[in-house]
């Protein structure tokens, strides 16, 4: 860990704060993309290799689909524990505390990071994984790292256009918790960040 990684997290949190404050969802999405591109291109803790940063033209995304944005109630679900073993951080414990129903798509488990600081974790893997999106799936929310679109009164703002690749999609030295069975959809989600470009 380093102060530069702390700076990365502060910038991510500030970027999502800007997005939450933007009343126009599409404008917020464009601001989020610009911010992520700047971090990937310029920040010392970018998961991109130095060679990939040279000539970097931005991350690849599907076009924005306003029909994939909802304020969803987190419904109760039986508590389940998930322990993810990593090389650098040991065992990372999560506890399922609810589910959200994505209209027309299915449901996803909502997890709580069950260690110091806590946070909501919502990964996603759909049938585009391994073709147009990263094979291990993507993240929608990871609030301990600042990736939080907001919500109110027991509801979370879920916008599939903000689905993003974990750092391990770009650099195998990162260890990323991937989507467990309850976070896999049987259909495609043609939204959000696409698979990393090779090279």
The Cα 113–Cα 11 span in angstroms is: 21
Classify residue 186 by burial, with Cβ atoms within 10 Å: 0-12, 13-18, 19+: exposed
Average pLDDT across each block of 10 residues of the chain; the chain has 199 residues. List them in order: 86 97 98 97 92 90 98 96 79 94 98 91 97 96 95 96 94 85 96 81
Residue 101 three-state SS: strand
Task: Please give the pLDDT value at position 86.
Answer: 72
H-run or E-run covering 7: helix 3-21
Largest CA distance in the chain: 48
Task: Please give the pLDDT value at position 198.
Answer: 54
Each domain of the chain, given as residue ranges in start order, spans 3-183
For the CA atoms of the chain, what is the radius of gyration?
A: 16
The Cα 162–Cα 155 span in angstroms is: 17
Full-model pTM: 0.94
Task: Please give the pLDDT value at position 1.
Answer: 54
Q: Report the candidate in 152, 141, 150, 145 with the shortest Cα–Cα distance to residue 192.
A: 141
- Token pair of 170, please? 């770009």
Task: Please give the pLDDT value at position 199.
Answer: 41
Buried b (16+ CB within 10 A) or exposed e, 2-37: eeeeeebeebbeebbeebeeeeebeebbebbbebbe
């Amino acid at each position: 860990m380093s102060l530069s990684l702390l700076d990365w997290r502060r910038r991510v949190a500030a970027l999502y704060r800007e997005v939450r404050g933007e009343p126009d969802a599409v404008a917020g999405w464009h601001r989020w993309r610009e911010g992520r591109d700047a971090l990937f291109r310029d920040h010392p803790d970018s998961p991109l290799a130095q060679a990939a940063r040279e000539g970097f033209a931005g991350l690849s995304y599907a076009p924005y689909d306003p029909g994939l944005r909802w304020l969803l109630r987190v419904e109760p679900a039986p508590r389940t524990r998930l322990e993810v073993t990593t090389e650098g951080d040991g065992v990372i414990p999560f506890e399922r505390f609810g589910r959200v129903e994505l209209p027309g798509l299915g449901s996803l488990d909502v997890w709580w990071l069950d260690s110091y600081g806590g946070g909501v974790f919502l990964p996603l893997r759909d049938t585009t994984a391994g073709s147009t999106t990263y094979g291990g799936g993507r993240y929608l929310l990871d609030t301990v790292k600042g990736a939080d679109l907001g919500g109110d009164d027991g509801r979370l703002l879920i916008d599939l256009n903000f689905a993003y690749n974990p750092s391990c999609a770009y650099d195998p030295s990162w260890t990323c918790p991937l989507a467990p069975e309850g976070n896999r959809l049987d259909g495609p989600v043609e939204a959000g960040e696409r698979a990393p470009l090779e090279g």
